[in-house]
Amino acid sequence: MKTRAVRLYGKKDLRLEEFDLPQIREDEILAKVMSDSICMSSYKASSQGTDHKRIPDDVAENPIIIGHEFAGELLEVGPKWAHKFKSGDKFSIQPALYYEKGPVGILSAPGYSYKYIGGDATYVVIPNEVMEQDCLLPFRGEGYYPASLSEPLSCVIGAMHANYHTTPGSYQHKMEIKDGGKMAILAGVGPMGLAAINYVLHREERRPSLLVVTDVNQARLDRAASIYTAEFAASRGIDLRYVNTGKMEDPVKELKSISGDQGYDDVFVFAPVRPVVEQGDAILAFDGCLNFFAGPGDPNFSAMLNFYNVHYAYTHIVGTSGGNNDDMKEAIEIMSGGLDPAGLVTHIGGLDAVPDTTNRLPEIPGGKKLIYTHIDLPLTPIDDFEKLGKENELFRELAKICKRHNGLWSVEAESYLLKYFERN
């Protein structure tokens, strides 16, 4: 079978190509990819090329398919896995395999390391190690984009689980955020910050009593506040505040004041910016945990840490990079319980939009860029649908649908988009 895919050959060298997939082996699965959301990690992979730890050294001769936040439908299941999967099953994939026999060893991952599997493709061959590691996950919900976004959602779920607090009088650590505690999400209205807010508001256990979300971009703060409202948070027992620290004379003092001058039990830093990291450290409460979520591109990135507080106030730091299988399963489960990740999505595009979008991702404002792999469509902001709809039927109808959904993407919008291209 032929596939059409975006492949990485080297630094910033992404090419949209058509080529033949090999016949699947008895321990492999042929799948149709429907959607992929573009991650900043893909930008880093493209920018670093073979310097990236997940990218094989020989990509110039054996290019890999990029994209790791994808979903679709299984087409042909090899005999080894026929007892567990069948043709027609919808799926999502946990890309962090941690499988020692992959192309680059334990760090191998679809979307970084493989010739025949990645999210920015029409058809892929799922290798045996994905199933061996239980990383092929069934998705029984509506649409495809929620399954794509289960991967980034799993990353923030993993971050919440990775935080820890001490037990007074002992050296035993209690994993997780503090139930009923005070939480701050700094630089928190980008795509991953929005995912974190969404998760905190919808989880059934271990919610903070106070959630403060900061940024320096008022427009992004206003958008977040319109999607994840203080009223809904209050119904979940959470006092939610959106704060523009760029307008504060002394952000640390004012953020502490919001907490009742106690500081924050759990602080999540969603931007690899030194002043933001240091601000997070400065607002920690006694036994507070700082989670450095944002992965820096600079291997020498550093920031000051108050070691007096480490010693006397028991403050501590963790870093997380990606979720695991259980986090992905939790993401899929919580979606079935009513969490819709559509608030993360600000742009829609086709497979032809992937190379330029990936290589310029930090320059493109907004949240997640959602790609539908079986269509060609320039990357288009949802906010532009109404204007484009004056001369284009597709965008006219999509604008109407999004308006019915509080300006957000939806399963209804996705279904119309795919049917429009089928008909044309």
Q: How far apart are CA 143 and CA 47, in angstroms?
A: 31
Q: How many CB atoms lie within 10 A of CB 100?
A: 10
Residue 10 lies in a domain: yes
Rg (CA), the chain: 22
CATH number at residue 259: 3.40.50.720
Which range of residues forms the domain containing residue 123? Answer: 2-140
- 205-225 residue pLDDT tens: 899 999 999 999 999 999 999
Residues 101 and 215 in one domain: no
Q: What pLDDT was estimated at residue 383?
A: 96
What's the mean pLDDT in 182-211?
A: 95
Specify the pLDDT at position 169.
84
Question: Which of these, 17, 133, 31, 32, lies nearest to 65 by C-alpha position?
Answer: 17
Residues contacting residue 122 through CB under 8 Å, at least 6 positions apart: 3, 4, 5, 32, 33, 351, 373, 374
How many distinct structural domains can be found in the chain? 3
Same domain, 105 and 233: no
- 166 and 314 co-located in one domain: yes
* 319, 342, 371 - which closes a domain: 319
Look at residue 40 and tell me if it is in a domain. Answer: yes
Q: What is the pLDDT of residues 70-108, one digit of tens each?
A: 999 999 999 999 999 999 999 999 998 888 888 888 889
**Range in 95-99, 125-129, 137-141 the model is least confident about:** 95-99
Note the pLDDT of residue 320. 86
State the pLDDT at residue 317: 96
Q: Tell whether 171 and 308 lie within a shared domain.
A: yes
Note the pLDDT of residue 296.
86
**Across the chain, what does the average pLDDT equal?**
95
State the pLDDT at residue 336. Answer: 78
In a domain, 157, yes or no: no
pLDDT tens string 371-395: 999 999 999 999 999 999 999 999 9
Q: For residues 281 and 257, what is the distance between their CA atoms, to the nearest angstrom?
A: 15
Same domain, 234 and 109: no
259 shares its domain with 301: yes
Tell if the pTM clears 0.85, that is, is over it.
yes
Of 271, 300, 319, the last residue of a domain is: 319
| Residues 127 and 177 reside in one and the same domain | no
Residue 168 pLDDT: 82
User: What local confidence, expressed as pLDDT, does residue 98 receive?
Assistant: 83
Q: Provide the pLDDT for residue 185.
A: 98
Whether residue 348 contacts residue 372, with contact meaning beta carbons closer than 8 Å, is answered with yes
Q: Give the rounded percent of residues in the chain with a pLDDT score beyond 90.
A: 88
- Reference 263, options 182, 206, 164; nearest CA is 182
Residues 167 and 312 in one domain: yes
Predicted confidence (pLDDT) per residue in 255-280, tens digit: 999 999 999 999 999 999 999 999 99
pLDDT value for 57? 95
Claim to verify: residue 191 and residue 305 sit in the same structural domain: yes
The answer on 250 and 287 residing in a single domain is yes
Closest CA to 178 of 165, 169, 188: 165
Q: What does the pLDDT look like over 280-330, one tens digit per residue? A: 999 999 999 999 998 887 889 999 999 999 999 999 999 987 788 899 999
Q: Is residue 15 part of a domain?
A: yes
Among 140, 170, 201, identify where a domain stops. 140
Confidence of residue 109 (pLDDT cuts 50, 70, 90): very high
Please name the residue that has the structure tokens 């890999």.
64
178: pLDDT strictly greater than 80: yes
Residues 185 and 313 grouped into a single domain: yes
pLDDT over threshold 90, residue 355: yes
